[in-house]
Amino acid sequence: MRIQPTPEDLIELTSSWQGERFPDGRPKVPDEVLEEIRLATTEEAWGVLRRQGHDRQFAGGWRQTHPGNVLVGRAVTSQFLPHRPDFDSAVVAAGAREGHLAPDKQNSWIISTLVPGDVMVTDIFGKVRDGTVVGDNLSTAIAARTGVGAVIHGGIRDYQGISQLDGGVNFFFRDADPTAIRDVTLAGINLPVRIGDATVLPGDVVLGTPSGLIFIPPHLAAMVAESSADIRTRDVFGKLRLAEQVYSSAEIDVGTWESHIEEDFQRWRKEQEQADRAGQATTRS
């Protein structure tokens, strides 16, 4: 058995992604796409995924350590199961073969795989008491390695210490408890996991907002970014024309604009793009 799949296994698991990958096989959605998604709302992302047939990518009902920070990054998934001695022995042996030499710190095995931009997404079957995957020390390690944070479908401890971390991180979790993690075994890293009602694959783009968590398949990430940017641009145009009293609220506040408004919008957007290019050329000169 293996704790982590081979790169070939991950490529097969995430075969819809045709772009760059990490050495371990995980999809590597470009940083610039992640930054665009950071500006998206949960509803904007959900709308794109639903239209593409991905109806079950949202999970709600979370606590957060840093509620003002939007969580965006690439998922490193992991799963814990209730402890069973013979299974735990097999996991410890497999972990040793893969370089994990601390059998009683299996939550640290996950952290050792993280790189900048990763989100640690861990399913510990909603366990809170004795299910605290991280405290302030391990959370500090996650923040240092990723600059992003984590999603824990279970518990955390040392909430006050974690909440003092800076650097724009955020940790989504079910609840806090003073107990330490025990009576569980790590089932694997970078395998499909269930978080709430969502199935999460390694390399999914995680978007965490006050509304909850959206897990975006990598091959749809650019579409979400583009759709969100288009909505924001249309919002600017619509408010401008309302302020100018060119159109009524009934004309603007609809799902699809009539053709004359859409044509006006496309002309306006082209003018804005030309003005932006001219401004950039002036700055360079």
pLDDT of residue 147: 97
Length of the chain as a residue count: 285
pLDDT of residue 209: 98
CB 119 within 8 A of CB 88: no
CATH class of 7-217: alpha beta
Regions of the chain short of the pLDDT cut 50? none
In the chain, where are the structural domains located? 7-217, 222-284
CA 165 vs CA 103, 108, 152, 208: distances in Å: 28, 19, 17, 17
pLDDT of residue 285: 62
pLDDT of residue 58: 98
Give the C-alpha separation, 1 to 88, whole Å.
Answer: 12
pLDDT of residue 115: 98
123 assigned binding-site residue: no
136 assigned binding-site residue: yes
| Closest-CA residue to 253 (of 233, 268, 239, 232) | 239
Give the C-alpha separation, 181 to 95, whole Å.
Answer: 18
161 assigned binding-site residue: no
pLDDT of residue 275: 86
